[in-house]
Structure 1
């Protein structure tokens, strides 16, 4: 698959308090396949991870959100954690950035609590998704068919529950990235 993904670019949108493995593991899987990955943060500065029960490493940003555009990338990854999606879901620039991927039909992968961002971006109604259990009712309230599965793909939208699902999440992320645009992916 490596040759098929050379030249692809993926943005990982993160703010402080993202779940460390939900950024580091997908980034490594993408890079292993020859994908250029940019960590995009609200202010272009490094962001500190949450590593299960305590603060983790700081990850340097490749771009500030103001300098990033959906047109620069082939797909978007949204790591979870509690703090990260809670901050991004009230950031209008982040919501516009996310919505741009849906409007362009590009793959978006969200794990754990990250679907909160998608709810606020207004892109989930009528979709089939999964998430960490504590977000399930929020998704149902937003018009989603929520299911308890390791990974769910709905027209380019990849969702998973927790870090234990990262292998399945990464496999589907890579598959959707290889497939490219999806006509069913919409805002």
Structure 2
């Protein structure tokens, strides 16, 4: 698979309050395969993680959202947590960034509460996803089918429930990234 990942670049879009493992594990996994990873946030200032029950480390931001171009990346990762997706789903610039990946047919991976961002971006109708169970009804209300599985893949869209599913999440993300663009990925 590493040959298929040569030259790939992935954006991780997050802000304060992301679940630490849901950014750190995909970032580390991608980098271990030689993928260039950029953390994108609304501001170039560092972003602070939520580490299960309290504030965690501050992570460096590679690019501010207004400086990041979706066409520079092959895939997008959206970590969850409670605060992070709630903030990003109200940020129109973040929603436009997400929509651009869907319009281009590029893989998008969202875990935990991150499907809230996808709902507000208007990209879940007719799709099959998973999430933390508390987001299930929100997804159904937005026209998606929700499944209680560790990872669900729907034409380039990878979703998982919680940090305990990170192994499956990263495996599916790597597969979709290696496959590249998906004709049925849509905004």
Q: Structure 1 length normalisation: TM-score?
A: 0.99
1:43 corresponds in structure 2 to 43
CA distance in 2, matches of 1:117, 1:88: 6
- Check if 1:132 corresponds to 2:132: yes
1:34 corresponds in structure 2 to 34
**4+ residue segments displaced more than 3 Å:** none
SS of residue in 2 equivalent to 1:186? coil
CA distance in 1, matches of 2:53, 2:70: 33
1:55 corresponds in structure 2 to 55
Q: Structure 2 length normalisation: TM-score?
A: 0.99
CA distance in 1, matches of 2:86, 2:19: 12
SS of residue in 1 equivalent to 2:3? helix
C-alpha displacement of 1:99: 0.2
SS of residue in 1 equivalent to 2:158? strand
- Post-superposition Cα deviations, 1:146-181, rounded to whole Å, max 9, x if no partner, equal 000000000000000000000000000000000000
SS of residue in 1 equivalent to 2:182? coil
CA distance in 1, matches of 2:46, 2:149: 32
CA distance in 2, matches of 1:64, 1:45: 8
CA RMSD of aligned residues (A): 0.4
CA distance in 1, matches of 2:86, 2:147: 22
User: May I ask how many residue pairs the two structures share in their alignment?
Assistant: 187
Taking the TM superposition and a 5 Å limit, the aligned residue runs for 1:39-118 are: 39-118=39-118
- Unaligned 5+ runs, structure 1: none
SS of residue in 1 equivalent to 2:105? coil
2:157 corresponds in structure 1 to 157
C-alpha displacement of 1:3: 2.4
CA distance in 2, matches of 1:105, 1:142: 20
